[in-house]
Amino acid sequence: MKTVLAALLVLVLGSAPAWAVLGEYESSVSSDQKYLRGEVRAMALQGYSVQQITGADRTVVKEYVSPAGLVFGISWQGPTMPDLQQLLGSSFSEFQQAAQSRVRRRGPLVLRTDRLVVESGGHLRSFHGRAYLPSLLPKNIPAEVVR
């Protein structure tokens, strides 16, 4: 019985989509491309690279990758909000806690913790935002590159 359960768990976890999410390695960008049904364009820049995925609905998600291969920032822009739980990965629970403790007001969402920064705004058919982990920013690369 334990063997069957272990085999089932391996099958389920092995078939789960991999995501190039904040704080993790970039090796799964192709899964994001399939999810967004879009095209990937890679850009090598001074001290980091950007994987830009343009989805079928014109949503653009950029994943900012350090020389070590870790996603240190993400940004989005488009007619719909992307799935932040997928993009933020393990940082999503921290985002949720900070968002719940925030005083409600109109305007863009700006959350800053010691570990995570998330800025998001927009309106119907025009959403935008960015998130980054300050501790993963490559040396001499300012947070402003994540846009």
As a residue count, the chain comes to 147
Residue range 30-36: average pLDDT? 63
pTM score above 0.95:
no
Flag whether pLDDT at 22 surpasses 70: yes
Per-residue pLDDT, 28:
63
Q: How far apart are CA 45 and CA 48, in angstroms?
A: 5
Q: Which residues touch 54 (CB under 8 Å, ≥6 apart)?
A: 36, 38, 39, 41, 60
pLDDT tens profile 117-129: 999 999 989 999 9
Please tell me which of 28-32, 63-67, 103-107 the model is most confident about, judged by mean pLDDT: 63-67
Average pLDDT, the chain: 81
Structural element, H or E, at residue 98? helix 92-101
Q: What percent of the chain has pLDDT over 90?
A: 54
Half-sphere exposure at residue 44, Cβ-oriented, CA atoms within 13 angstroms = 2
